[in-house]
């Protein structure tokens, strides 16, 4: 199993991280709870020891499902969860205040059935709380033994000025959307990795599933699946057609390597954005195994270049 040492930590994690958004049972079409639990077990049994979730996924249901699935094997897993997205009275907003951080961590610890969270991440910046204040609150949680390390999610170039203010950057990781279907954040990913000694995590690594090879130009989703909404551009209009061109190249390489289409898409990230962790959600053990194939091979330079060429935005 290919692993990555998260920078500035003693956390050795699988390069493939199981994303917990589908575990919330909301927004990804029909799900079967037992399949979700079995997916987690399959991941753990096949060397995936890293699990990403958030308190807002299914309004806490993802954390509860993950805890149930891991059971007595929880100590074998490295868990990262996120805070900062609040949903109250039907409204969604961001909150990085000290009061809310302290409140949020207690909820996550309870749902995860843990005394300590391995990696606690700011899900989204709230646009008003200085990053230095956020770090101060998270340091207090470290001192209290409630978290071990902390990181950032969904950060971009405009956040760099605040990071420059730290003599030593206390954030050990960052995550953002990145895939063959979404390369707009590529420059930022390399900058934060190389200049701020942070380990990159990628979400949306399969473009919400379009890069799995399962869909065509006539794909439709029920109203209980977020991908039915046009804001999920990977499945609509010209973007969908462009993505399907990428999928055709992925299929060619999948035949050449004898691997699944999704594993080739994941492998491209691991080979191109080195020292990264790829986060991929799964709703069944079958999907977990297809994704895990990515850790058993590498792409050639020629295959990487073909994918680079077809996916450039």
Q: How far is CA 222 from CA 26, 118, 225, 228, 229, in A?
A: 12, 36, 6, 7, 10
Query: 3-state SS of the chain: helix, strand, coil percent to 5?
Result: 50, 20, 35
Give me the residues paired with residue 114 across strands.
none
Closest CA relative to residue 311, chosen from 260, 280, 269, 276: 269
CA angle 112, 116, 122 (to 5 degrees): 80
Burial label for 270, CB within 10 Å (0-12, 13-18, 19+), is: buried
Closest CA relative to residue 208, chosen from 22, 17, 14, 15: 22
Catalytic residues: 57
The answer to whether 178 touches 278, Cβ cutoff 8 Å, is: no
Report residue 166 CA to chain centroid gap: 26
In this structure, the number of other CB atoms found within 10 A of the CB of residue 152 comes to 27
What sign results for the dihedral spanned by CA atoms 83, 86, 87, 92?
negative
């Amino acid at each position: 199993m290919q692993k990555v040492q998260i920078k500035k930590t003693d956390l050795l994690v699988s390069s493939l991280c199981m994303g917990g958004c589908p575990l919330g049972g909301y927004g990804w079409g029909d799900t079967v709870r037992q399949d979700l639990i079995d997916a987690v077990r399959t991941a753990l049994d096949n060397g995936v020891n890293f699990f990403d979730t958030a308190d807002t996924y299914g309004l806490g249901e993802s954390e509860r499902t993950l805890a149930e699935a891991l059971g007595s094997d929880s100590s074998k897993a490295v868990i990262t969860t996120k805070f900062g997205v609040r949903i109250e009275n039907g409204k969604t907003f961001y909150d990085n205040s000290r009061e809310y951080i302290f409140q949020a961590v207690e909820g996550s610890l309870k749902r995860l059935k843990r005394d300590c969270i391995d990696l606690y991440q700011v899900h989204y910046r709230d646009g008003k709380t200085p990053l230095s204040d956020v770090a101060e609150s998270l340091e207090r949680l470290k001192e209290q033994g409630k978290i071990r390390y902390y990181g950032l999610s969904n950060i971009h170039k405009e956040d760099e000025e605040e990071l420059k203010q730290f003599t030593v950057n206390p954030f050990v990781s960052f995550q953002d959307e990145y895939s063959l279907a979404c390369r707009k954040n590529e420059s930022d990913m390399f900058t934060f990795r190389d200049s701020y000694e942070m380990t990159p995590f990628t979400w949306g690594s399969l473009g919400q599933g379009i890069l799995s090879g399962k869909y065509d130009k006539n794909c439709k989703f029920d109203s209980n699946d977020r991908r039915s909404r046009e804001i999920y551009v990977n499945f609509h209009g010209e973007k969908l057609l462009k993505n399907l061109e990428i999928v055709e190249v992925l299929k060619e390489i999948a035949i050449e390597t004898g691997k699944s289409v999704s594993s080739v898409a994941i492998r491209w990230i691991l080979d191109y954005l080195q020292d990264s962790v790829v986060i991929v959600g799964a709703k069944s053990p079958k999907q977990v195994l297809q994704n895990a194939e990515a850790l058993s091979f590498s792409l050639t330079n020629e295959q990487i270049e073909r994918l680079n060429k077809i996916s450039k935005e």
